Structure 1
Amino acid sequence: MAITVTIATFMELLDTSIANVALPHIAGGLGRSFDEATWILTTYLVANAVVLPMSAWLSRVFGRKNYYMGCVVLFTLSSLLCGTAPTLPIMLIARILQGIGGGGLAPVEQAILVDTFPPAKRASAFALYTVAIVTAPAVGPVVGGWITDNFNWRWCFFINIPVGLLSLFMTNRFVRDPDSFAEERKTARTPEGKLNIDATGIALIAIGSAALEVLLDRGQLDDWFGSTFICSMLVIALTCLVTAVIWELNEKDPVIDFRLLGNRNFAISNVFFFLFSVGLFASTTLIPQILQSLYGYRAIDAGLVLGPGAGVITLLAPVGAVLVQKGIVRPKYLMFLAISFAGYSFLYYSHLNLDTDYGHWAFARALQGFGYAFFFVPLTVIAYSELRPDQNNKASSLTNFFRNWGGSFGIAFATTLAERRSNFHQARLGENLPASSTLLQETVQSLTLYLQQHGLSPVDAAHKATAMVGRMFNAQVQILAYMDCFYAIGVLTLVLAPLALYTRNFKIDPDASPGH
């Protein structure tokens, strides 16, 4: 069961990171600029963000299994449309449809796992889920780089088709809605059979989520608050989302049940769902960028650096599940230790430099993977520890709501901070290394002499030596900025780690039935 419902989520997360790597090739293939092609990412994320919080309500309306299979069908067909798109407008329409389909997969999968497995076995189910959501973004750049280097960018979308068909077959055979969910489905309709639609809540959340996603995804490209467009998105997002929270708290059957955050364990868990995605997506974005721009790695080589982290999680996540299930370690203590270790891994990243080789980068990623391997399983168990079975569906939408926004904030934070710190270090290094610097002049002269000895004329050698020093200067500025990003994420992670200790203790009953 766990493998069945994890396949489609793995496919959706894999496709997101593949598209990022292939974007320059897609822009060239469609005859558009790179800036125009970035809307291929934005449209998907916006559609995904709009649908994700509504997945609990939609699954009640259509039935969880039916809705899940419908999402897989839509994602698969829109992947085919993406792969065959002849123009950018058609590609954007296909990506919107793909985002709508992909947005419902993770929340429904998580709800299925919670309702299918009793508390004593949930840890094992979520160990597999952990492997999927962490491994997919990591292997995506590797797969995307290999496909674009050896085939055509369109195959980045075509590979979803067989996976989608396999997911549909297995879901149809092995997944069913639990009996308790039949009662929950009745709440989606009035006694007269009409749908209970929280139209105001849906509209506010959809518009607010869309505006916030555009703000985060386009902010750095459009100079943040120097852009009237970005400022408008901020006003719309804040107005709609704040109003939505107030509205939903007073709604009898809200599309997002924010009242669940009144439960201490659930509320703290969502802080860590957000933090988890901030660290995962920020690092998964930064590392390939650093290795390709500063170390000259190919896309596939940069992606391979992420592999050890995924491998460690694959091996150790089941161990974390056993520790939780057998009661060897209380979930909150395991989560505290794991998130502390993940925070330390970011501090380890922050001490790397331009001379760091592949082995040290891979080791740093393995350290991060070690922390996450023991983090997500106890986190998920704690999140659902005090919820009633009828709350699981809405809870899964809310946890994925925070996890999704954590990823968006993480990417926006990392790219923006890297740019800001790059400007800072450029100014500081420039102050300490003026053109009149003896060290600078000696370096240029030494390089000029070296180039002359290798056949360049004195004039050409001088120009090239100056350019080489400039590139070294810029590389040093950029690596310092990137290391600041890792340091900031590490400090944030370590500061929040003790919050895990404030979750309430609970007992895992090995004889409990599913959902209890």
Structure 2
Amino acid sequence: MVQNQEDDLVEYGINRVIITITCIMCALLEIVDTTIVNVALNNMRGSLGATLTDIAWVITAYAIANVIVIPMTSWLSQQFGRRNYFATSIVIFTVASFLCGNATNIWELVAFRFIQGLGGGALLVTAQTIITESYPVAKRGMAQAIYGMGVIVGPTLGPPLGGYIVDHFSWPFIFYINIPIGIIATLLTIGYVKSPKYGDKLKANQVDWWGIGLLATFIGSLQFVLEHGQQDDWFNDSMIVALSVISVFGLVLFIWRELTYKHPIVNLKVLKDSNLRIGTIMSFIMGFGLYGSTFIIPVYTQSILGWTATDAGLLLIPSSITTGIMMPFIGKMIQRGIPQAYMVAVGFLVFFLFTFLMRGVMTPDTGVEHMFWPLILRGVGLGLLFVPITTLSLSTLKGKHIGEGAAFTGMMRQLGGSFGIAIITTYLTRLNQEHRVNLISYLDQSSYKVQQTVHQLQMGFMAKGYTANEALSKAYKVIEMKVMAQSSVLSFMDIFMYLGILFLLCIPFILLIKKGKNKIDPAEAMH
């Protein structure tokens, strides 16, 4: 019976092409919107009169809403029917995009971004499910590869697209660009997407309202701590301490509630599967590397090398194209039965090589040509990780547990990104201070070399017409600037080294994976 229902959802010919394009469009919309605002924050600050702390909420609100909704998508699809839920999510996302562009103050923008995130979080996992079920079992590795293109390319497309729009138009247009795409996607969803037949819906009094509340409390508090920890000095701030405690208690109560309630909003029992447990850890680390590197490279190129937002964003595009080109080949390799564990191990190793090479080319005046090949390696590594990790995680699950497993891997990838960015910003600041202190200790004023450098700089400024005292003051400022630049570069080098070690340490975990079905079906009856 289940098999017949699955067959009902498989599409062929033009219908399948249209459904695939619609789902990738929606996944891209969601993911591009996660990173597109990063380069527009300064313009938003100016026009809305917001502080740096306030403007950070534009990113935080969206991320919190996203991570709250992702684990609930399986349950919501069953309650409202998948097509209805998917179409409604696109409408919410599109209307919220329009409202974001029309926001007149910072808190209006934050509220609309939260609503946009609630619509957007659903798009990711539901799009993955719809694509997978539209393909026959033998081609589902390829289906995951097609979906993976959108997920990996999305975070990289955001910054250059955002930079171009901000440079040539104004910041509201980064939201308005979603409106025509959203309208087309809604019409195509209503016209072409089918819903599987679910059992009876829950009555209002059976709905796990406590589970929803505890999930929102735990994830919301955790996301706030991660986003604001560094700027608020972590546990020296009473708000961060309070939210950390709330997050821990929220998590414990949420786990207890979901394991004891008859109709849980998130089925935690599915995590008894050892492959899914290992897969969620690897999804977390992949998110850490994907979003962490997408964040750190533009920061380095803009703050150290002085590039524009558009140039910094464009640098990452060859890496994404490489991943996109690899995806169909990975899909074919999975179809031929090459064990995904080997691909994941090679993916982690290649990502380690990317971080190792990036660490080697970093200087205060590195050029595009030095970073090109390391970034191509990043693309290869992410290509080898995304589809095999997703399919491996779900390889020993059956029936509707596959949909629940997919929601876990999706949530962990997003959380990995949040942890990655939070930890990287914290370490950048701390390592920077450490390296600056160490470098200054080498600048002994009695040293002949230091005196000679100061004297040469002073003479240079005096030649431009400054007095001896002014020239001396400027000479010291130049040395201070050089120390700052050098300590920043050393900090970025350290971050890449730590990131590489983290990926290298993951390789032994892959040996713990049980052998699932090789010609994997990533979603037998995914919801």
Describe the SS at the equivalent of 1:104: helix
Query: Which residue in 1 is equivalent to 2:361?
Result: 352
Query: Which residue in 2 is equivalent to 1:116?
Result: 134
CA contact (8 A) 1:19 1:156 kept: yes
**Bigger mean CA deviation after superposition, 431-440 or 343-352:** 431-440
Specify which of 154, 157, 169 is matched with residue 139 of structure 1: 157
1:119 to 1:480, Cα distance in 2 relative to 1, 3 A: farther
Describe the SS at the equivalent of 1:505: coil
Query: Alignment identity in percent?
Result: 33
- Residue 341 in structure 1 maps to residue 362 in structure 2: no
Q: Work out the CA distance in 1 between the residues paired with 2:235 and 2:522.
A: 53
Specify which of 90, 105, 130 is matched with residue 72 of structure 1: 90
Q: Work out the CA distance in 2 between the residues paired with 1:223 and 1:49.
A: 24
CA contact (8 A) 1:277 1:404 kept: yes
Once the two structures are TM-superposed, the CA of residue 134 in structure 1 deviates from its matched residue by 1.5
Specify which of 445, 452, 459 is matched with residue 469 of structure 2: 459
Specify which of 413, 424, 434 is matched with residue 403 of structure 1: 413
CA contact (8 A) 1:344 1:494 kept: no
Specify which of 124, 127, 145 is matched with residue 106 of structure 1: 124
Query: Which residue in 2 is equivalent to 1:260?
Result: 270
- Residue 158 in structure 1 maps to residue 176 in structure 2: yes
CA contact (8 A) 2:93 2:119 kept: yes
1:467 to 1:242, Cα distance in 2 relative to 1, 3 A: same
Gap runs ≥5 in structure 1: none
CA displacement, residues 329-360 of structure 1 (integer Å, 9 cap, x when unaligned): 21111111112111221122222222421112
1:241 to 1:50, Cα distance in 2 relative to 1, 3 A: same
Once the two structures are TM-superposed, the CA of residue 438 in structure 1 deviates from its matched residue by 3.1
Q: Work out the CA distance in 1 between the residues paired with 2:137 and 2:381.
A: 23
- Residue 320 in structure 1 maps to residue 333 in structure 2: no
Describe the SS at the equivalent of 1:339: helix
Specify which of 109, 115, 123 is matched with residue 97 of structure 1: 115
Q: Work out the CA distance in 1 between the residues paired with 2:316 and 2:451.
A: 40
Aligned residues: 507
CA contact (8 A) 2:66 2:120 kept: yes
Q: Work out the CA distance in 2 between the residues paired with 1:279 and 1:304.
A: 19
Amino acid aligned to 2:320: A
CA contact (8 A) 2:395 2:521 kept: no
Q: Work out the CA distance in 2 between the residues paired with 1:379 and 1:448.
A: 58
Q: Give the TM-score normalised by structure 2.
A: 0.92
Specify which of 213, 221, 232 is matched with residue 222 of structure 1: 232
CA displacement, residues 178-215 of structure 1 (integer Å, 9 cap, x when unaligned): 3xxx23x42x42xxx55631122211111111100111
Once the two structures are TM-superposed, the CA of residue 263 in structure 1 deviates from its matched residue by 0.8
CA contact (8 A) 2:395 2:520 kept: no
CA displacement, residues 252-303 of structure 1 (integer Å, 9 cap, x when unaligned): 3321222211112111111111011000111111111111111010001111
CA displacement, residues 455-482 of structure 1 (integer Å, 9 cap, x when unaligned): 5443333222221111110011111111
CA contact (8 A) 1:111 1:392 kept: no
- Residue 478 in structure 1 maps to residue 488 in structure 2: yes
1:203 to 1:243, Cα distance in 2 relative to 1, 3 A: same
Specify which of 375, 399, 410 is matched with residue 389 of structure 1: 399
CA contact (8 A) 2:398 2:524 kept: no
Specify which of 24, 44, 63 is matched with residue 26 of structure 1: 44
Specify which of 234, 243, 248 is matched with residue 244 of structure 2: 234
Amino acid aligned to 1:63: G
**Bigger mean CA deviation after superposition, 36-45 or 312-321:** 36-45
**Bigger mean CA deviation after superposition, 454-463 or 385-394:** 454-463
Specify which of 101, 105, 108 is matched with residue 87 of structure 1: 105
Once the two structures are TM-superposed, the CA of residue 450 in structure 1 deviates from its matched residue by 2.7
Residue pairs, 1:10-49, within 5 angstroms: 10-49=28-67
Specify which of 78, 81, 87 is matched with residue 63 of structure 1: 81
Q: Work out the CA distance in 2 between the residues paired with 1:417 and 1:437.
A: 32
Q: Work out the CA distance in 1 between the residues paired with 2:252 and 2:506.
A: 24
Query: Which residue in 1 is equivalent to 2:193?
Result: 175
1:430 to 1:255, Cα distance in 2 relative to 1, 3 A: same
1:513 to 1:70, Cα distance in 2 relative to 1, 3 A: closer
Q: Work out the CA distance in 2 between the residues paired with 1:233 and 1:513.
A: 36
**Bigger mean CA deviation after superposition, 484-493 or 114-123:** 114-123
Once the two structures are TM-superposed, the CA of residue 118 in structure 1 deviates from its matched residue by 4.0
CA contact (8 A) 1:118 1:513 kept: no
Q: Work out the CA distance in 1 between the residues paired with 2:459 and 2:115.
A: 60
Q: Work out the CA distance in 1 between the residues paired with 2:447 and 2:287.
A: 44
1:510 to 1:29, Cα distance in 2 relative to 1, 3 A: closer
CA contact (8 A) 2:40 2:171 kept: yes
Describe the SS at the equivalent of 1:402: helix
Describe the SS at the equivalent of 1:13: helix
Q: Work out the CA distance in 2 between the residues paired with 1:120 and 1:506.
A: 15
CA RMSD of aligned residues (A): 1.9
Describe the SS at the equivalent of 2:297: helix
**Bigger mean CA deviation after superposition, 206-215 or 37-46:** 37-46
Amino acid aligned to 2:144: F
Residue pairs, 1:359-398, within 5 angstroms: 359-398=369-408
**Bigger mean CA deviation after superposition, 239-248 or 503-512:** 503-512
Q: Work out the CA distance in 2 between the residues paired with 1:302 and 1:359.
A: 14
CA contact (8 A) 1:116 1:515 kept: no
Describe the SS at the equivalent of 1:50: helix
Specify which of 167, 191, 210 is matched with residue 220 of structure 2: 210
Q: Work out the CA distance in 1 between the residues paired with 2:427 and 2:451.
A: 32
CA contact (8 A) 2:355 2:496 kept: yes
Query: Which residue in 2 is equivalent to 1:280?
Result: 290
- Residue 498 in structure 1 maps to residue 508 in structure 2: yes
Once the two structures are TM-superposed, the CA of residue 14 in structure 1 deviates from its matched residue by 0.7
Q: Work out the CA distance in 1 between the residues paired with 2:479 and 2:450.
A: 8
**Bigger mean CA deviation after superposition, 447-456 or 134-143:** 447-456
Q: Give the TM-score normalised by structure 1.
A: 0.94
**Bigger mean CA deviation after superposition, 161-170 or 446-455:** 446-455
Gap runs ≥5 in structure 2: 1-18
1:512 to 1:495, Cα distance in 2 relative to 1, 3 A: closer
Amino acid aligned to 1:318: P
**Bigger mean CA deviation after superposition, 212-221 or 441-450:** 441-450
**Bigger mean CA deviation after superposition, 284-293 or 256-265:** 256-265
Describe the SS at the equivalent of 2:517: coil
